[in-house]
Amino acid sequence: MQKREISTDYIKVIDDTMAGRCYIITDLDGNQITAFHPYAMNMSQEIKVVEANGVSLGIVSPDGREGMTQHAEQFAGGRYPFYF
């Protein structure tokens, strides 16, 4: 990201856990079984919309339930348009 000059100012590194994982197994008939564990996604509530400078539009995408709820409330409270 730094090589492409993409800001990493609001990326939170959580050293003691892994990123979310999803494993999808497909059989020969196309049936699928999915195993998912959110790991660090369950800590998204630690990121606060109000701490970001220059917010003009928000996106609340799949994440930890508490974080998604808080982020939607923070966008709405700051009167920022957002997609959920």
- DSSP labels, the chain: -TTTT---TTPPP-TTSPPPEEEEEE-TTS-EEEEEE-GGGGGGGGS-GGGSTT---EE--S--HHHHHHHHHHHHHTT--EE-
**CA nearest to 40, candidates 60, 61, 12:** 12
57 lies in some domain:
yes
> Has residue 52 been placed in a domain?
yes
Q: Is the pTM of this model over 0.95?
A: no
Q: Tell me the residue range of the domain where 45 lies.
A: 21-83
What Cα–Cα distance (Å) separates residue 41 from each residue in 21, 61, 66? 10, 11, 10
pLDDT tens by residue, 27-81: 999 999 999 998 998 999 988 988 888 888 999 988 889 999 999 999 999 889 9
The number of folded domains in the chain is 1
Residue 14 included in any domain: no
Q: Is residue 32 part of a domain?
A: yes
pLDDT at 11: 85
